[in-house]
């Protein structure tokens, strides 16, 4: 069977439609792993991601896997068994951080809020003071609830208690303001399949000098490559594949042989960043802001109720309550079958109770927003919901006109 994927407009919480430029970039031929051309491409990729992360961190690289590979790389490389980790939880991906930290042997404390809210930064600060964690691990934007956690001032309490600060920016990077250096974030990881507009499978990652030093203090060069100069240091990192100490030496001047870099995915990651930087990072974020505002106005224009604390919503995704009496998945199926548009539902307590509609990457654009709203209007009406004719499209157009 030949794979001939049908047309899809992916307006869910991600993955979203990849930019055709990114897909084309992946069709470039391979070069060898240590070919100067390839190591030059690795350097170039580090450079563009420094700009996307707004950092000067030397230790900026790709982890070869989906976004959660980099989450795990960050956690397992920073946390030693028995370390205390604090996780503010405001959705599924906070639970994922708990899960990963526990598997890494951490003692995990959480600060939880009901889904649809963000965590009061004061509560996080208090918890840092109480628990004295080695690491504070926090999601920036949690797609399960659409919430975006304020992070700009968290560094102060972390610095006060010598805690490292890790941020999962998978869903937020390039669609929302994120300032690695200004916010003094120690490690930030992402993925391509959200606002960066690429396929999943490569995970941009950056580490502050402090975090890189912490990781390097646990450097164990692997069996079969270790030289006499490679005295093992500190507690061995539990994973070889996700060992940032070794990965940094592969991405650094030593070019330590580790895995074989996923070359086509590197081409994709590089092109994702280039597209953002050509538009300008501020402009890309602003485009996401406007598209998100238009979609928000649009779903309200259709009479739908928006889920959660809208003041803290990510730009790039909105969750709406499924109206009484409507089968959430039937509407999603009709959107897909009749209009080739994908929208999402959510997890756990929100499964079947909300739809999540994304406006990210190449799909954070007017025609995608209006088309989705027009289709949704028709499908909702078919499913017995009284929707104002044109209410969604008109409201969204007003945002674009403003």
Which residue, 201 or 391, is less far from its own copies as judged by CB? Answer: 201
Which residue, 140 or 289, is less far from its own copies as judged by CB? Answer: 140
The residues in 312-331 that bind its own copies, with binding defined as CB under 8 A, are none
The residues in 55-74 that bind its own copies, with binding defined as CB under 8 A, are 64-69, 71-72
Which residue, 199 or 391, is less far from its own copies as judged by CB? Answer: 199
The residues in 104-133 that bind its own copies, with binding defined as CB under 8 A, are 104
275 lies in the site for its own copies, by CB under 8 A: no
Least distance between its own copies and beta carbon 319 (Å):
16
Least distance between its own copies and beta carbon 77 (Å):
12
The residues in 336-375 that bind its own copies, with binding defined as CB under 8 A, are 336, 342, 347-348
Interface with its own copies (CB under 8 A), residue total: 88
What span, in angstroms and rounded, lies between the C-alpha atoms of 9 and 5?
12
Which residue, 93 or 166, is less far from its own copies as judged by CB? Answer: 93
The residues in 137-156 that bind its own copies, with binding defined as CB under 8 A, are 144
235 lies in the site for its own copies, by CB under 8 A: no
239 lies in the site for its own copies, by CB under 8 A: yes
What span, in angstroms and rounded, lies between the C-alpha atoms of 275 and 277?
6
User: Which of 61, 74, 85, 100 forms a contact with its own copies (CB under 8 A)?
Assistant: 100
User: Which of 51, 252, 262, 310 forms a contact with its own copies (CB under 8 A)?
Assistant: 262
Tokens in use for 373? 């709203």
277 lies in the site for its own copies, by CB under 8 A: no
Least distance between its own copies and beta carbon 105 (Å):
8
Q: Which stretch binds its own copies (CB under 8 A): 90-98, 174-182, 206-214, 313-321?
A: 90-98
83 lies in the site for its own copies, by CB under 8 A: no
Q: Write each residue from 189 to 208 as x if it is in contact with its own copies (CB under 8 A), else as -, in one continuous string.
A: --x-x-----xxxx------
Which residue, 25 or 393, is less far from its own copies as judged by CB? Answer: 25
Phi-psi domain of 117 (left: phi exceeds 0; alpha: psi -120 through 50; beta: other)? beta
Burial class (CB in 10 A: 0-12, 13-18, 19+), 232: exposed
46 lies in the site for its own copies, by CB under 8 A: no
Which residue, 148 or 270, is less far from its own copies as judged by CB? Answer: 270
103 lies in the site for its own copies, by CB under 8 A: yes
Which residue, 149 or 397, is less far from its own copies as judged by CB? Answer: 149
Least distance between its own copies and beta carbon 150 (Å):
22
Tally of residues, the chain: 402
242 lies in the site for its own copies, by CB under 8 A: yes
User: Which of 259, 321, 378, 383 forms a contact with its own copies (CB under 8 A)?
Assistant: 259
SS (H, E, C) the chain: CCCCCCCCEECCCCCCCCCHHHHHHCCCCCCCCCCHHHHHHHHHHHHHHHHHHCCCCCEEEEECCCHHHHHHHHHHHHCCCCCEEEEEECCHHHHHHHHHHHHCCCEEEEEECCECECCCHHHHHHHHHHHCCCEEEEECEECCCCEECCCCCHHHHHHHCCCEEEEECCCCECCECCCCCCCCCCEEECCCCCCCCCCCCCEEEEECHHHHHHHHCCCCCCCCCCCCCCCCCCCCCCCCCCCHHHHHHHHCCCCCCCCCCCHHHHHHHHHHHHHHHHHCHHHHHHHHHHHHHHHHHHHHHCCCCECCCHHHECCCEEEEECCCCCCHHHHHHHHHHHHCEECECCCHHHCCCEEEEECCHHHCCHHHHHHHHHHHHHHHHHCCCCCCCCHHHHHHHHHHHC
80 lies in the site for its own copies, by CB under 8 A: no
User: Which of 83, 168, 249, 261 forms a contact with its own copies (CB under 8 A)?
Assistant: 261
Least distance between its own copies and beta carbon 143 (Å):
11
Q: Measure Cα distances from 190 to 34, 71, 380 in Å.
A: 25, 8, 34
Least distance between its own copies and beta carbon 363 (Å):
11
């Amino acid at each position: 069977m030949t794979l001939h994927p049908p047309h899809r407009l992916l307006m869910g919480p991600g993955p979203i439609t990849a930019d055709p430029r990114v897909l084309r970039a992946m069709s470039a031929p391979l070069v060898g792993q240590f070919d100067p051309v390839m190591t030059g491409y690795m350097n170039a990729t580090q450079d563009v991601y420094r700009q996307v992360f707004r950092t000067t961190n030397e230790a900026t690289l790709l982890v070869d896997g989906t976004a959660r590979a980099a989450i795990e790389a960050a956690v397992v490389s920073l946390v030693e068994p028995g370390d205390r980790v604090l996780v503010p939880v405001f959705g599924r991906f906070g639970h994922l951080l708990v899960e990963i930290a526990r598997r890494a042997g951490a003692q995990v404390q959480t600060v939880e809020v009901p889904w649809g809210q963000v965590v009061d930064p004061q509560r996080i600060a208090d918890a840092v003071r109480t628990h004295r964690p080695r690491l504070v691990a926090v999601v920036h934007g949690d797609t399960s609830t659409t919430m975006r956690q304020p992070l700009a001032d968290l560094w102060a309490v972390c610095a006060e208690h010598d805690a490292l600060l890790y941020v999962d920016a998978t869903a937020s990077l390039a669609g929302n303001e994120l300032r690695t250096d200004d916010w003094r974030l120690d490690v930030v990881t992402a993925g391509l399949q959200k606002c960066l507009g690429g396929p999943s499978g490569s995970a941009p990652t950056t580490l502050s000098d402090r975090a890189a030093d912490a990781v390097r203090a646990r450097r164990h060069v692997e069996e079969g490559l270790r030289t006499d100069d490679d005295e093992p240091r500190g507690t061995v990192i539990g994973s070889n594949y996700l060992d940032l100490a070794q990965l940094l030496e592969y991405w650094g001047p030593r070019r330590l042989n580790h895995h074989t870099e996923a070359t086509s995915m590197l081409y994709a990651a590089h092109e994702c960043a280039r597209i953002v930087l050509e538009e300008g990072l501020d402009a890309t974020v602003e485009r996401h802001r406007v598209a998100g505002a238009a979609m928000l106005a649009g779903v309200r224009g259709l009479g739908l109720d928006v889920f959660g604390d809208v003041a803290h919503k990510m730009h790039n995704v909105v969750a709406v309550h499924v109206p009484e009496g409507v089968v959430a998945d039937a509407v999603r199926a009709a959107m897909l079958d009749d209009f080739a548009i994908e929208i999402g539902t959510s997890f756990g307590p929100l499964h079947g109770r909300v739809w999540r509609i994304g406006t990210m990457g190449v799909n954070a654009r007017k025609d995608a927003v209006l088309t989705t709203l027009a289709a949704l209007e028709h499908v909702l009406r078919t499913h017995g919901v009284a929707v104002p004719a044109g209410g969604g499209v008109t409201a969204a157009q007003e945002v674009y006109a403003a």
